Amino acid sequence: MTIRRLVHSELRNVARSRWLLVYAIVLLSLTDLLFRFGGSGERVVLSLTNVILALVPLVGLVLGTMHVYQSREFIELMLAQPVGRRTLFGALYAGLALPLAGAYALGVGLPLLWHGQLLGGSAGGPTLLLSGVALTLVFTALAFVIALLFEERAAGLGAAIVTWLITVVVYDGLLLLAVVSLDDWPVEIPAMIATLLNPVDLGRVLLLLRFDSGALAGYTGAIFARFMGGGTAMAIAITALALWILSPLALGLRRFERRDW
Amino acid sequence: MNPPALELSDLRKRFGRLTVLDGVTATITSGRVTAIVGPNASGKSTLIKCVLGLVRPDGGEIRVLGERVGRDPRYRRRVGFMPQGAPFPQNLTGREALQLVKDLRPDEEPDLDLVHRFALAPQLGKPVRLLSGGTRQKLNAAVAFLFRPSILILDEPTAGLDPLASGVFKEKVKEAAASGAAVLLTSHVLSEVEELADDVLFLLDGQIRFQGTMEDLRRMTGEQKLERAVSRLMRMRAA
């Protein structure tokens, strides 16, 4: 199968790159240090959450767009072979998203494991692991869309950084501002919908639902948990995250199939 | 009778407001080396990319060995393309890069003749990113010839090759044509075109201004050297 061979060679290439190792080591030391000096298990997972909700999107966006621009000549060569565009797109995405998700899973999962938070601790550990993996898949897919929309590398990287700023920093702030200034109106439902529209907030909601503390969960997370029982909220958040992976992928594929190289 | 290696009919392509191919009709025959010549931005690259399926034309038709070029990638099994620069993932070794291309056509027996003639073997264990420009270009050439393709597409093939390697390469091109392949070549080195090409396709502003044998070209322009013949062609059209 063509796609298996392509994915295989992409995996091999990405696995040998230095930045992947650096990423895994940074996550590993960060998680381990927080456990050593940050106090009890649940609190560590909560502070870790906020770091990871910012770091994972940044890494996915920046490395994802860079990877597509760097692969430009490779893409042209492969498309000149008996390889379909759909196949190549799938191989490129899997070849980057899987190692990134793997580096995350090892970097965060191993310390969680040896500090007893992965098995048998609170449910926070496993949830943290899964939402990080999901966010990796989401933001790598978004990075592919960005890199395919902008011909120029500088413009694409700029758009990736702006996307990061919006999803991680600006969005929650604006939402809070809107809610505060519309104090007299019933804004909970619109605010909840707004949460679904940002994958970072979805990741936060997933984690919040595992803890009973809303302190670090941001405004959007708090309302989400208040208005729904754990199970329903969880199902909705997971579905929304899956859509956040699939829709950019569909968009990217469409662009990849139609554009001229 | 076998269908021609490559048939282009009324090929059109615009990028935004810019018309890059403006109704290109041409037939490329097997067993001959055809050079596409023309100034920068005359549409040479776009023409080649259309044949490879990298660029989708707005109008017209391309047939490769009689098969219409569309979304089905299978026609490219018989097409050998020599890329530029360092297209392979940087952390793969040369050997892995070759293996990848081989794996994409699992049913065919690879031809490693150029790997031997370039004496590439000792370099193949290194990651592609550590290879010199010339070695990369040799690897790219080996990739193009890997499957005894019926159509060879060579875009500025000898850029970066030393004279010795360049000689080996030209020899291989002639052999491929002699054994029945259609070779499509672009080059800014006109002496090389003169040496290799049987036919010339002169492209200007997205249109074919001349198509014929080298002999025809010399006769028509009254010039022996290709460089002078081409500049005369450009002047003739401008007048």
| pLDDT score, position A193 | 82
Give the confidence band of A120 by pLDDT, cuts at 50, 70, 90.
Answer: low
Does residue A217 carry a pLDDT above 60? no
Does residue A124 carry a pLDDT above 80? no
Beta-ladder partners of A141: none
Which of A81, A253, A261 would you mutate first to test chain B, the one with the most B CBs within 10 A? A81
Does residue A128 carry a pLDDT above 90? no
| A10 neighbourhood in chain B, CB within 8 Å | 89
Sign of CA dihedral B174, B177, B178, B181: positive
Sign of CA dihedral A167, A169, A175, A178: negative
With CB atoms and an 8 Å threshold, state whether A261 touches B91.
Answer: no
Which of A9, A17, A73 would you mutate first to test chain B, the one with the most B CBs within 10 A? A9
| pLDDT score, position A181 | 85
Please, are residues A202 and A244 in contact by the beta-carbon 8 Å criterion?
A: yes
The string of pLDDT tens digits covering residues A139-154 is 999 999 999 999 999 9
| pLDDT score, position A110 | 93
| pLDDT score, position A119 | 76
A157 to chain B, minimum CA–CA distance in Å?
20
Backbone angles phi, psi at A37, to 5 degrees: -115, 0
| Tokens (6 digits) for B26 | 């041409």
Please, are residues A259 and B54 in contact by the beta-carbon 8 Å criterion?
A: no
Determine the average pLDDT of the residues in A75-80. 94
A150 to chain B, minimum CA–CA distance in Å?
15
Beta-ladder partners of B106: none
Give the confidence band of A212 by pLDDT, cuts at 50, 70, 90.
Answer: low
Sign of CA dihedral A45, A51, A57, A62: negative
| pLDDT score, position B30 | 94
Poorest-confidence range of A36-40, A236-240, B130-134, B234-238?
B234-238
ipTM of the complex: 0.91
With CB atoms and an 8 Å threshold, state whether A5 touches B103.
Answer: yes
**Spatial distance between the Cα atoms of A209 and A175, rounded to a whole number of angstroms:** 20
Name B225's Cβ contacts closer than 8 Å, sequence gap at least 6: B194
Does residue A40 carry a pLDDT above 90? no
Interface residues of chain B, partner chain A, Cβ below 8 Å: 15, 49, 52-56, 71-77, 79, 81, 83-92, 96, 100-101, 103-105, 127, 143, 153
**Residue B226 three-state SS:** helix
Determine the average pLDDT of the residues in A241-261. 94
Give the confidence band of A213 by pLDDT, cuts at 50, 70, 90.
Answer: low
A146 to chain B, minimum CA–CA distance in Å?
20
The length of chain A, given as a count of residues: 261
Determine the average pLDDT of the residues in A182-202. 81
Mean pLDDT of the residues in chain A: 87
| pLDDT score, position A46 | 79
* Higher per-residue confidence, A86 vs A189: A86
Determine the average pLDDT of the residues in A101-122. 85
Does residue A208 carry a pLDDT above 80? no
With CB atoms and an 8 Å threshold, state whether A261 touches B105.
Answer: no
Of B53, B100, B153, the CB nearest to A9: B100
Determine the average pLDDT of the residues in A21-46. 86
| pLDDT score, position B115 | 93
| Cα B60 versus chain centre, distance | 21
**Spatial distance between the Cα atoms of A200 and A241, rounded to a whole number of angstroms:** 9
Does residue A121 carry a pLDDT above 70? no
Block means of pLDDT (10 residues each) for chain B, 239 residues, are 88 92 93 92 91 93 91 91 88 92 89 92 92 92 93 90 92 94 90 90 90 87 84 74
Closest residue in chain A to residue B15, using alpha carbons only: A260
The string of pLDDT tens digits covering residues A159-175 is 999 999 999 989 888 88
- The B67-68 sheet, strands edge to edge: B18-28, B6-15, B59-64, B67-68
Which of B104, B139, B145, B154 would you mutate first to test chain A, the one with the most A CBs within 10 A? B104
